[in-house]
Amino acid sequence: MGKIENLALPEIGSHALGTGKLPVEQYVSQEFFELEKEHIFRKSWLLVGRESDVKVPGDYQNFMVDTLGVSVVIARGKDQKLRAFYNACTHRGARLVNASTGNVRALVCNFHGWSFNLEGDLINVPDAALFADLDQKQEHLKPIHLDVWGGFIFINLAEKPEWTLREYLKPLDDKFDRYLGNKDWSWSFGWRAKFKANWKLIVDAQIEGYHVDMTHRKTIAGAIPGSNTAAYYFPESIGVPCGVAAYRPEDVSRGMQTPMNLLSAKYGATSIYTKPERQFAAEGGEGVLKEDHPLWIFDNYLVFPNIVLFVQKGQILIQRTLPISADECIWEVDFYHTERPTSFGHVFNMEQGVIQIRDVLSEDLYTAEGIHANFKCGAISHVSLNKQEVPLRAYYNRLLSAIEQDQAKEKP
């Protein structure tokens, strides 16, 4: 813990990226959505899962990129290597796997029985002599670029990705990779929901602290006042345009603390707003976590285009938003911890934390559908952003530049 003189908080934001209002077309325009599909979702590194969920040879995961209608199989081969393929049999295009996870010796198509090994090679064709000139070597499953960072699996659907994953994720560096890649992290809980709102409205709700005092007035506003959230923006970064840091108030008794909160807080720290008497362990946080600041709670980073990664001691969570159309999206959140509850008090603390964070996320997301409807019907054409909302401006700038730069590359 730091000393008392370290209590000064960083600036909460900046006007460095400009002060003008932003248009809202990018949230409702079908044409803009088509550009996002082709120039962003088909070209960016997309976080699709956790390496530990595909642990042993034969384990596979089936991930749906709903935005593009692409079903991806991620499988660990006998050589321990992870590979990603389109979930498409090269005979006549049937899906090879339908379950979301499993363990198999080979990927066998249910239509006519073609079999592929975990490296994607076609290894068996029933009645192969029926084909006139089948060259089995040419019938390899179509591969997708895959890499791992921080224990998270990323894929890239481009024929040739423009950047390596590490280049893409700067300024998140190797220390981050090691901290998040710690093998002790395991999935604890999560949720999935559909919203009738543009996908970026869900992201926006997580990357500014200005809303906290009002939106979360019944839950965390006392424990994390809006004035204690600082905005990050990284104009040079390709894949991490912005983020937010959150700090406690000096007076930790502030805020709405129910008897249940206070009791729970005696047994552990599962949430971002209970004052922990006891910290979860998590090795390798040096240079990643701002633990030398006594008031620091968490940092989050927008991993472009659709992930908000929250990092703290002993707890990480990711929020992923996948558009289905300009007007509809799927949102998922997953929590990972380095410790399992070992006592009744600890289980109670964890359960109470789950309920609290569910309430906080509901508060965050309930405005999205109304905002979307207001943008769509023309009631609102532009929005104002203050300096604490600078991450939204950084995100908008990155959206436009990602599309423009990719369009420019495609020009002859």
Q: Interface residues with ligand FES (CB under 6 A)?
A: 89, 91-92, 94, 109, 111-114
Tokens of 184: 């002790």
Taking the least distance from each CB to Fe ion, the nearer of 204 and 364 is: 364
H helix runs in 114-186, sequence order: 165-169, 174-181
Instruction: Pick what 147 binds: ligand FES, Fe ion, none; C-beta below 5 to 8 Å, kind-dependent.
Output: none
Which of helix, strand or coil describes residue 27? helix
Q: Among 204, 364, 389, 406, which residue interacts with Fe ion (rule: CB under 5 A)?
A: 364
CA of residue 399 relative to chain centroid, distance: 16
Q: How far is the CB of 48 from ligand FES (least distance, A)?
A: 23
Instruction: Look at residue 89 and give the partner it binds from ligand FES, Fe ion, none, a contact being a CB closer than 5 to 8 Å depending on partner kind.
Output: ligand FES
Measured CA to CA, the distance from residue 162 to residue 43 in angstroms comes to: 8
Q: How far is the CB of 71 from ligand FES (least distance, A)?
A: 14
Distance CA 405, CA 40 (A): 10
Nearer to Fe ion, 177 or 364 (CB): 364
CA distances to 145, 274, 361 from 258, rounded to whole Å, are: 49, 11, 18
User: Is the Cβ of residue 155 or residue 297 nearer to Fe ion in the bound state?
Assistant: 297
> Which entry of ligand FES, Fe ion, none binds 113, CB below 5 to 8 A by partner kind?
ligand FES
Q: How far is the CB of 59 from ligand FES (least distance, A)?
A: 22
Site string for Fe ion, 319-358 (x = CB under 5 A): ----------------------------------------
State in angstroms the smallest separation of the CB of 126 from ligand FES. 8
What would you report as the CA-atom Rg of the chain, rounded to the nearest whole angstrom? 23
Q: Looking only at residues 365 through 404 of this chain, which bind Fe ion when binding is defined by CB under 5 A?
A: none
Count of helix runs (H) and strand runs (E) in the chain: 10, 19
**237: which DSSP letter?**
-
Return the one option of Fe ion, ligand FES, none that residue 165 interacts with (CB less than 5 to 8 A, by type): none
Residue with smaller CB distance to Fe ion, 40 or 318: 318
Q: Cβ 256 to ligand FES, closest distance in Å?
A: 57
Output 125 or 256, the one with its CB closest to ligand FES. Answer: 125
Work out the angle at residue 47's Cα, subtended by the Cα atoms of residues 42 and 52, and round it to the nearest 5 degrees: 140
Q: Which is nearer to Fe ion, 211 or 290 (CB)?
A: 211
With b meaning 16 or more CB within 10 Å and e meaning fewer, what string describes 88-102? Answer: bbbbeeeebbeeeee
Enumerate residues 6+ apart whose C-beta is below 8 A from 95: 71, 87, 88, 89
Partner from Fe ion, ligand FES, none contacting 112, C-beta within 5 to 8 A by type: ligand FES
Q: Which is nearer to ligand FES, 111 or 366 (CB)?
A: 111
Task: Report the nearest approach of Fe ion to the CB of residue 361 (Å).
Answer: 8
User: 64 φ, ψ to 5°?
Assistant: -100, 115
We find the least distance from the C-beta atom of residue 124 to ligand FES, in angstroms, to be 10
Residues within the interface to Fe ion (CB under 5 A):
364
